[in-house]
A and B are shown apart, each in its own frame.
Chain A
Amino acid sequence: MSETTPTAVDRGFFGEANYPGILGWIFSTDHKRIGLLYFWCIVVFFSVGVLLGLLIRLELFAPGETIMTAQTYNAAFTLHGVIMIFLFIIPGIPAAFGNLIMPIQLGARDVAFPKLNLMSWWLYVIGAALALTSLFTGGGPPDTGWTFYVPFSAQTSTNVSLAAVAVFILGFSSILTGLNFVTTIHRLRAEGMTWMRIPLFTWSLYATAWIQILATPVIGITVALLFVERIVGTGLFDPTQGGDPIMFQHLFWIYSHPAVYIMILPGMGVVSDIIPVFARKPAFGYKAIVVSSLAIAFAGSLVWAHHMYTSGMSDMAVLVFSFLTFIVAIPSAIKVFNWLATLYQGSILLDPPLLYALSFILLFTIGGLTGLVLGAAATDVHVHDTYFVVGHFHFVMFGGTGMAFFAAMHYWLPKIYGRMYDKVVATVAWGVILIGFCVLYISMKVVGMQGMPRRYYDYIPEFTGINQLATVGSWILAFGLLLMFVNLFRGIFKGEPFGSNPWGGATLEWQVPSPPPTENFDDDPVVTHGPYDYKKAGIL
């Protein structure tokens, strides 16, 4: 960190494009440009999703019809769910920050298949465009919820078929990214970058990529079957024709449960990379974190039917899947303990990336523990499909992966743009977000415990007070998000230049200039120490 602070920013990869203007972006095979394409798309979709969430909360401000009809409400939460899951949280960290950072962390000049990488982005955009088209064509916006359960999804006249095609295409984008990352991590590591020197963020992407490759085809099959069920009435899920509606739920969750690990593992990777830097200590239990990532990827693939305790599947299956679910808690807890042990007696710098990482730990742990209430079949039957579940998954997805995404933005975006945001404003925004978040989602958990079901636009008058509290929480949260984004974007475009290593990280991305040059390294790097060895890296 002894380098002098530059006054102007060298434009790095921003200065070199193969085509003029926008074409230089949408036809670029540079992993950093593709990462930024993903990033900005994802931020736009996230904002739309938040807007829909706010509208949903506004409708729930009072019992009865407040601002929208029941049918509009059904479409609103479906769209909110589909956008947040398929367009924000699944591609969020791997496609945006994985692309931006992972090759540099390995000491590579790009991913293994740059053209395939560009194609993944195009598939993502095409899938997103189709999902949006489904709103305005056919029988109107889908109203099934993001889970597309039969028999309703097979019968409703809304435009479910097109949405299914969109999900199919988005799945391909995800599979190709996974293939690309696995190959890159196996083949393109720099000299000296042994497996046990790979930064934990990249390790988490490796585990994630395998789930993307192995589980995503199943959602493709599932929505394809739903599609033919709707178009030609194959009867696969229709009991009157010998089909089985519960089979749809099995197929859906065989993908969608592993998908929650596609969402959370990269978030855990971000946190594992940030904490050592701001504690000025090597990651405690590096190997345990690596192994637990792989264990989560494996065990997490075997627990899907815990979403189905009340579906009418056999008691035997309830027993087996409840047991398996408890096993996944172990590797998750291993990570939490390792992060805390890394912080213990560190010289902690409370900069914004660490604050967001800490809120990840807090909110993810609360979300994970409420997950055990749902994982135990005996308690789940009471709260299944209530607002308790909605509170739970917002805690793990938004409080977990969402916060990790924000942490990654505050940690790595200055690196990519070469300019720094205002840390005080970022800290204030963090506080506002945390308060709004807890008011909003803890209220949801409480009202769920009291028995309010999810996916209803109306409720009994007894629930009015707590629903209004939740809605006020959503306004606080939205204000915090706005403050955070405005400050961050102002910073990366207009802020102060800062050199290459503002946080004192020892991984390779901090050794190249900011913004990095087109092929990242002038000479191929040779790695001589572990990712958190601050002494050997000359930082401490």
Chain B
Amino acid sequence: MTEEHAHLVPYKTFLLIWVALLVLTVITVAAAQFDFGALNIWIALGIATLKSSLVVAIFMHMKYEQWLFKLALLAALAILAIFIGLTFFDVLYR
């Protein structure tokens, strides 16, 4: 564990990620001005996923953690996906 905690992320990386997050926010707002039909939701969700991945990987240091933590995160996400996916059997076919 100690090696991971000793890992120092340079300020430059933090700044870059912050800028990237801002740019992605601008893109979200911009994309909302147009109607892409069924793609609307996918575009919005895609950008949101990208942003949260950046936050989790860099700001929350997941990128530098051991595999067990990554696995735990992935398992939680997979379970969330199953719950939401099964709910869509209702919402999509109503």
Interface residues of A (CB under 8 A from B): 214, 218, 246, 250, 254, 301-302, 305, 313-317, 320-321
Contacts and interface: CB of A to CB of B under 8 A. Distances in A.
B83 A246 contact: no
Interface string B60-94: 00000000000000001001001100110111111
Q: Which 6 interchain pairs have the tightest Cβ spacing?
A: A316-B93, A314-B93, A317-B90, A313-B90, A317-B89, A314-B94
A320 B79 contact: no
Contacts, number: 33
Tell which of B87, B89, B90, B92 has the most Cβ of chain A within 10 Å: B90
Interface of B: 76, 79, 82-83, 86-87, 89-94
Dominant secondary structure at the B interface = helix
Dominant secondary structure at the A interface = helix
B77 to A, nearest CB: 12
B41 to A, nearest CB: 15
B16 to A, nearest CB: 33
Nearest to B76: A214
23 contacts: A214-B76, A214-B79, A246-B90, A250-B87, A301-B79, A302-B82, A302-B86, A305-B86, A305-B89, A305-B90, A313-B90, A313-B94, A314-B90, A314-B91, A314-B92, A314-B93, A316-B89, A316-B90, A316-B92, A316-B93, A317-B89, A320-B89, A321-B86
Contacts of B83: 218, 254
Contacts of A316: 89-90, 92-93
A218 B92 CA distance: 22
Contacts of A313: 90, 94
A503 B91 CA distance: 54
Contacts of A246: 90
A325 to B, nearest CB: 12
Contacts of B94: 313-314
Contacts of B90: 246, 250, 305, 313-314, 316-317
Contacts of B82: 302
Given A250-B87, A302-B86, A317 B79 contact: no
Contacts of A305: 86, 89-90
